[in-house]
Chains A and B, each alone.
Chain A
Amino acid sequence: MAPSPGLLLNGATRYVGIDAILEQMRRKAMKQGFELNIMVVGQSGLGKSTLMNTLFKSKVSRKSAQPNPEEKIPQTIEIKSISHDIEEKGVRMKLAVIDTPGFGDQINNENCWQPIMKFINDQYEAYLQEEINIDRKKRIPDSRVHCCIYFIPPTGHCLRPLDVEFMRRLSKVVNIVPVIAKADTLTLEERDDFKQTIREELRANGIDVYPQKEFDEDAEDRLINDKIREMIPFAVVGSDQEYQVNGKKILGRKTKWGTIEVENIAHCEFAYLRDLLIRTHMQNIKDITGSIHYEMYRVRRLNESNAGPGLAPGQAPTLVSAHTNGQTKVNGGPPNGMAAQCEVLTHEM
Chain B
Amino acid sequence: MIERPETAVPSIAQRNLEGYVGFANLPNQVYRKSVKRGFEFTLMVVGESGLGKSTLINSLFLTDLYSKDYPGPSQRIKKTVQVEQSKVLIKEGGVQLTLTIVDTPGFGDAVDNSNCWQPVINYIDSKCEDFLNAESRVNRRLMPDNRVHCCLYFIAPSGHGLKPLDIEFMKRLHDKVNVIPLIAKADTLTPEECQLFKKQIMKEIQEHKIKIYEFPDTEDDEDSKLIRRIKEKMPLAVVGSNVVIEVNGRKVRGRQYPWGVAEVENGEHCDFTVLRNMLIRTHMQDLKDVTNNVHYENYRSRKLAAVTCNGVDASAAVTHEPSAPSPLAQMEEERREHVMKMKKMETEMEQVFDMKVKEKKQKLKDSEAELERRHEQMKKNLDAQYKELDEKRRVFEDEKVNWEAQQRILEQQKLDASKTMEKNKKKGKIF
Contact = CB atoms under 8 A, between A and B. Distances in A.
Interface in B138-173: 156-161, 163-165, 168
B257 interface: yes
A266 B258 CA distance: 7
A217 interface: no
B276 interface: no
A331 interface: no
A161 B77 contact: yes
Interface of A: 43-46, 71, 73, 105-110, 153-158, 160-162, 165, 182, 184-185, 187-188, 253-261, 264, 266-267
B110 interface: yes
A71 B261 CA distance: 32
Interface string B190-228: 110000000010000000000000000000000000000
Contacts of B114: 107-108
Name, among A154, A253, A257, A258, the residue most crowded by chain B CB atoms within 10 Å (CB to CB).
A257
B113 A257 contact: no
Given A187-B256, A257-B260, A259-B259, A44 B113 contact: no
Nearest to B243: A187
23 contacts: A73-B163, A105-B163, A107-B112, A107-B168, A109-B112, A109-B113, A153-B50, A155-B49, A156-B50, A158-B77, A160-B49, A161-B111, A162-B111, A165-B111, A182-B188, A185-B187, A185-B188, A187-B255, A255-B191, A258-B257, A259-B259, A266-B258, A267-B259
B111 A255 contact: no
A257 B255 CA distance: 10
Interface in B309-339: none
Contact of A255 (B49, B190, B256): B190
Contact of A73 (B157, B164, B256, B266): B164
Interface of B: 48-51, 74-77, 109-114, 156-161, 163-165, 168, 185, 187-188, 190-191, 200, 255-263, 266, 268-269
B364 to A, nearest CB: 84
A257 B157 CA distance: 18
Contact of B113 (A108, A188, A253, A260): A108
Contact of A160 (B109, B188, B261): B109
A45 B160 contact: yes
A69 B114 CA distance: 29
A162 B113 CA distance: 11
Contact of A155 (B50, B76, B158, B161): B50
Contacts of B260: 255, 257-259
Contacts of B48: 155
Contacts of B74: 157
B191 A106 contact: no
A157 B188 CA distance: 17
B258 A188 contact: yes
A185 B259 contact: no
B237 to A, nearest CB: 12
B241 to A, nearest CB: 9
Name, among B157, B257, B259, the residue most crowded by chain A CB atoms within 10 Å (CB to CB).
B259
Contacts of A257: 187, 257, 259-263, 266, 269
Given A71-B161, A185-B188, A187-B256, A109 B50 contact: no
A109 B190 contact: no
A267 B163 contact: no
A184 B111 contact: no
Contacts of B191: 255-256
B111 A258 contact: no
Nearest to B74: A157
B164 A105 contact: yes
A181 B74 CA distance: 20
Nearest to B166: A107
